[in-house]
Amino acid sequence: MAMNGTNDTPGAADADCGHSIEELQEYLETGESPASAHIDTCPECQSGLAALRRLRALTGDLISADVEEAEKEELPWLDGLMNNLRLETRAGRRIPLSTEDELDSLFITEGAVTALVRAVGDTMEGVLIGKCRIQGDVDAVGSEITLDIEIAAFFGYPLLPMAEELRREVRGVLALQTELLVGDINIRIVKIHEHEIQQGGSS
Amino acid sequence: MDNGVQRQPEASGGSVPRDVVGDAVPSESTMAPPTGATAGCHPRRSGSGRTSDGDARAQRQSRAGMLEAAEDAFLVDRAVDGDVAAFEVLVRRYAPLMRAYARRVTGSASDADDVLQEAFTQAWRQLADLNDGSVVKSWLMKITGHRSIDLLRRRREYVPVDESYDLADVAPGPEYAAAASSQMAALRHALDRMPEGQRQCWLLKEMGAQSYDEIAAQLGISSATVRGRLARARTTLMKEMEEWR
């Protein structure tokens, strides 16, 4: 098998047959090599490949052991970190609210609306709210908007009643808390979780 | 006003509601509740009014359990929308792997935890740029690698180069050492003694799963140098290991 000299490996300990560790590693990772015909029959390359396989397996073991070790300790900074992140809000667009005085300017943020939608979903069993998008011209007071909501459902909860319930609840909460004129609420089920969930309390 | 249920224009004569266009809708037979649950979706909040404290607590726990079952991409979507709770599930899910990685690269348990906090803060800010939420794990690992190398660089400005950082504070206890194979001990030992440049290349490649070009850019060296260092690192590790066979 002819080898061109373009993939020299500086500093690599080449086997006597002229093939480098790097070539063997690439063959191991991709299953392909310009020199595969040679490698498949060369005893030296075969023993090099075997050693690289052992190294790879051992590396996997080392990482697993490291992760196991890392899992044993708590994350003492977790609460502080999360509190800091909470301050970095994702506000999104401003949705104006009507005011009695023209000089006032009141608004609710898009982020606050999607948080409301999530809060509604989180009070229902068997459903998790995912991505939530408000479509439409939110800047114009009184213009109709569309809500696109992605949800994950959990196994055992009938989907249609769940979606209807969710629509009803979302519509109710948004009517109570915002001035949005909510048109369509499109619900897209992106995932069904098959296992049951451990409930935190009795229901 | 019952426009609560919008249906898709009938596509092919069927009456598939718009709701169920997901990728994993079970067939009719599997949609029945498993344990004789009644129809409906059991809203916890009954029409009567507010929830009690106990209900609220149970609800929070139940939600946490549900989030833990959710897939990465789903949690990323929620986090991009501003949900810190979803992001926290991702943090808990990947902190051990990231910590293990940062410990190997920085050689210090406390530095590694600094790296993690920086990495998660950066991730939270840049999460919206992540086009595909399902790759969040490798994305987080990449950030961890970057932050670890940055920290080493910063530290080098204040600390004499020849002051070595040993792994004493992350060394496993005796019970662990006894269970580990002598080959793994040899690998640890060989890694610790390896020239730092080689070790960094090897860790970024093997633990961080980064490409030659990414490693080169991160370390400020050429791709050819990365290749050379990786080849030398592998040769050294293979030799050390073979001695223990």
Tell me which chain B residue has its CA closest to the CA of residue A91.
B82
DSSP secondary structure string for all residues of A104-152: --EEEEHHHHHHHHHHHHHTBTTEEEEEEEEES-TTSTT-EEEEEEEEE
Confidence check: pLDDT of B231 > 80: yes
Which of A7-11, A45-49, B217-221 has the weakest average pLDDT?
Answer: A7-11
Q: Do B82 and A59 touch (CB under 8 A)?
A: no
Residue B239's pLDDT band, with cuts at 50, 70 and 90, is confident
The pLDDT assigned to B59 comes to 59
* Domains in chain B with CATH codes: 58-160 (1.10.1740.10), 171-245 (1.10.10.10)
* Chain-chain contact of B231 with A21 (C-beta, under 8 angstroms): yes
Name the β-bridge partners of A135: A146
User: Is the Cβ pair A10, B228 closer than 8 Å?
Assistant: yes
With a cut of 70, say whether residue A196 has pLDDT above it: no
Check CB contact under 8 Å for B25 and A69. Answer: no
Candidates A62, A111, A184; nearest CB to B187: A62
The pLDDT tens digits of the residues spanning B49-108 come to 444 566 655 655 666 778 888 999 999 999 999 999 999 999 999 999 999 999 999 999
Residue B155 at interface with chain A, using a CB cutoff of 8 Å: no
- Predicted confidence band of residue A162 (pLDDT cuts 50, 70, 90): very high
Is residue B30 over pLDDT 70? no
User: Is A50 near chain B, with CB under 8 Å?
Assistant: no
Amino acid at B51: T
How far apart (Å, rounded) are the C-alpha atoms in residues B105 and B206? 12
Range name among A145-149, B20-24, B112-116, B240-244 with the lowest pLDDT average: B20-24
The average confidence (pLDDT) of chain B is 75
Kindly state whether B241 is in contact with chain A, defined as any CB-CB distance less than 8 angstroms: yes
Residue type, A120: V
> B97–A67: do the CB atoms touch at under 8 Å?
yes
Global ipTM = 0.74
* Residues B168-195 pLDDT 10s: 444 455 445 444 568 888 888 899 999 9
Q: pLDDT-based confidence at B27, cuts 50/70/90? A: very low
* % of residues, chain A, pLDDT over 70: 88
Which of B4, B24, B229 comes nearest A164 by C-beta?
B4
